[in-house]
Structure 1
Amino acid sequence: MTPIAASAETGQPLAADAPFFIVMNAGSGRQQADATRVVLERELGAARRRFELRVVDDPRRLREVARDAAAAARAQQGVLVGAGGDGTLCTVAHAALDANCPFAVLPRGTFNYFSRDHGIPADPEQSTRLLLDARAYPVQVGFVNGRMFLVNASLGLYPRLLEDREIYKRQFGRSRLVALWSALSTMLKPHRHLRLHIDHEGSTQELRSSTLFVGNNRLQMEQIGMPNEARALEQGLLVAIAPRPVGRLLHLWLSLHGAAGRLSDSEHVASFTFTHITVTHPSRKRRLIKIATDGEIAKLQMPLEFRVSEKPLLLLKPEPAVAEANRS
């Protein structure tokens, strides 16, 4: 049993007067930020708990603001809170991990895989009230090179899907339907297959695929129909998934299979679990390559090292039985 799994049943209580330092990405609009402030003042104010809301208007400053808030949380024995979607939460969580302070979540995204997987309610009032009596539990996070991810990391076609999705969102708004339509459109476009070398447990294998997807979220694994891989995450492992080289129509069929929760039934998908792998590209050994981590795109230099973090993130969430009942 891993150290995280061994201590996952008992959370750490917080001081009754621990302050909250909340970092919110205002990318979804000022109206949502103002509504969040009203809820915080009502729920935390009624409990006489001190909080500080830092709204980030420029996404380029999110990392800096998160680090400053994390330093304040550590100095005052408080909690760093991220308010936003999975990408925002990952950036703020990374600051909490570096500062060794507890982390909490106010979900404000479209899919909210991280918060849903840990049983944190999407309702603003409920997630805010949870801050007052939740314990801090250790949860697993992953890294690719120096970049952390809570939900997943990928290279190849998947980052392209995310880039196209952002274009569609700017044109048609943020919704799951828009995200689905964008994905279908991208899947029907021509795409190249990567030729990757993967060093895993002392051996090297060659993998040809349109994308390499590394998952760290039970809910997402279960939804695409890979329950065995979902259970592996609870054992301190990450999951690598790669579709075998196929044409565009079959690739689309695989995506629809995943959307229907039946991806594990397909013989056209390779998967394995690991704690650490190194990925190289024979023709791009030292070049930059696009990586998506929790919906955010970055360019990282080959080789890529995917690994489970040795240090867990301390997350405020419901007790395990309640969290499991809340997952959806």
Structure 2
Amino acid sequence: MPTTEPRPDAPFFIVLNAGSGSSETELRRSTIETVLAAAGRSCQLELVGDPAQLQNIARSMAGRAVASGGILVAAGGDGTINTVAHEAVLAGCTFGVLPQGTFNYFGRTHGIPEDLTEAVYSLLRAHVRAVQVGMINDKVFLVNASVGMYPKLLEEREHDKRHYGRSRLVAIFSAIKIMLRPARHLRVTLEQDGKQRRLRTTTLFVGNNRLQLEQVGMGGLTGAVEEGQLVAIAPRPMGKLGLFGLLVRAALGRLGEADVEAFAFKRLTVSTPAVYGRKRLKVATDGEIEKMAMPLHFRVLEGRLHLMVQGPSRSQARSAADSALDDPA
């Protein structure tokens, strides 16, 4: 793992998710290349049009970044950032982010601008900070991982986004639809520090992001994330009305007042009863859904992602320069 700052002329290897329409994608590509060219920095950009190719492209770009002492950069939403970050951790290369998603929890947590031009400008002046990531089996997650109802909610949200566009309002609409459907409770066994206990819940949510925990009203556990732990949240069994109330509390930032079980941990094993016959379970990691082999092993990896964090924004840099001219002493 790199422990020093990349050299001043380190090339950027950028993985850009095509995402929306071609005109918007070309504008993003042009913006990135124009800002970096004006700064005299080398840039190799790969556009990902097929989501199925994202991991292979990210792995290839990570290898090229390692070979040339460069910086691997993800440009997209939290799902894209997750996939590229996974390859950065495996390859041991420095990692940068240009957030382009709906919520951008990871980028916002680390002070990275959501405006693309400002994000590229800040990347040029960023420095390396070692940050923690979560792992579920052999998969990295930066913001959260979950099983149960939450992956279903994400699938519904993606379906609605294709029809109605990407917005927070669409996300809330999708959540309400899921809450109104018959809820199946998940029976799991948790093993932590050699002790086992059984839990019945609609969803098991594991967070690794201070901002998201604060936003839903679980601010009392953000200190655990800052101290190198992950946070598990599991609503107790409830009906449709209770689930709807849970959604409202989360939207209002008051989830901590709801009937949920929450605790911090460094390692956690999750299994389901043998009578379920489940060998694989649907899991969501940073918004991306896949089936994983049981049992699920959660753990935290401290300082394993070497992230380029925000330097001064363009307006801040100009303000600092003006102040220096006004006060040369």
TM, length-normalised to structure 1: 0.92
1:270 counterpart residue number: 261
Deviation at 1:128, TM superposition (A): 0.3
Q: Distance in 2 between matches of 1:241 and 1:31?
A: 40
1:5 counterpart residue number: none
Q: Does residue 1:228 correspond to 2:198, yes or no?
A: no
Tell me which amino acid in the other structure corresponds to 1:295: G
Deviation at 1:40, TM superposition (A): 1.8
Q: 1:181 aligns with which of 163, 170, 173?
A: 173
Tell me which amino acid in the other structure corresponds to 2:149: L
1:27 alignment partner, SS class = coil
Q: Residues 218-297 of structure 1 correspond to what in structure 2 (within 5 A)? A: 218-266=210-258, 268-282=259-273, 283-284=275-276, 287-297=279-289
What whole-Å deviation, never above 9, does each CA across 1:16-45 have from its counterpart, x for those lacking one? Answer: 100000001113232232112221222111
1:6 counterpart residue number: none
**Between Structure 1 and Structure 2, how many residues are aligned?**
311
Q: Residues 111-260 of structure 1 correspond to what in structure 2 (within 5 A)? A: 111-260=103-252
Q: Is the 8 A contact 2:131 2:302 kept in 1?
A: no
Tell me which amino acid in the other structure corresponds to 1:84: G
1:3 counterpart residue number: none
2:67 counterpart residue number: 75
Structure 2's unaligned 5+ residue stretches are 314-329
Tell me which amino acid in the other structure corresponds to 1:145: N
2:316 counterpart residue number: none
Q: Residues 303-314 of structure 1 correspond to what in structure 2 (within 5 A)? A: 303-309=295-301, 312-314=304-306
What whole-Å deviation, never above 9, does each CA across 1:204-251 have from its counterpart, x for those lacking one? Answer: 011000000000000000001111211110000000000000111111
Tell me which amino acid in the other structure corresponds to 1:25: N
Deviation at 1:155, TM superposition (A): 0.2
Q: Distance in 2 between matches of 1:234 and 1:69?
A: 30
Structure 1's unaligned 5+ residue stretches are 1-10, 323-328
Tell me which amino acid in the other structure corresponds to 2:305: L
Tell me which amino acid in the other structure corresponds to 1:269: V
Q: Which has the larger radius of gyration?
A: 2
2:37 alignment partner, SS class = helix
2:54 alignment partner, SS class = helix
Q: Distance in 1 between matches of 2:303 and 2:34?
A: 35
Tell me which amino acid in the other structure corresponds to 2:270: V
1:40 counterpart residue number: 32
Q: Distance in 1 between matches of 2:293 and 2:304?
A: 25
Runs of 4+ more than 2 Å apart? 11-14, 27-33, 283-286
Q: Distance in 1 between matches of 2:288 and 2:56?
A: 16
Q: Distance in 2 between matches of 1:108 and 1:73?
A: 22
Deviation at 1:171, TM superposition (A): 1.2
Q: Does residue 1:89 correspond to 2:81, yes or no?
A: yes
2:107 alignment partner, SS class = helix
Q: Is the 8 A contact 1:12 1:135 kept in 2?
A: no
1:25 counterpart residue number: 17
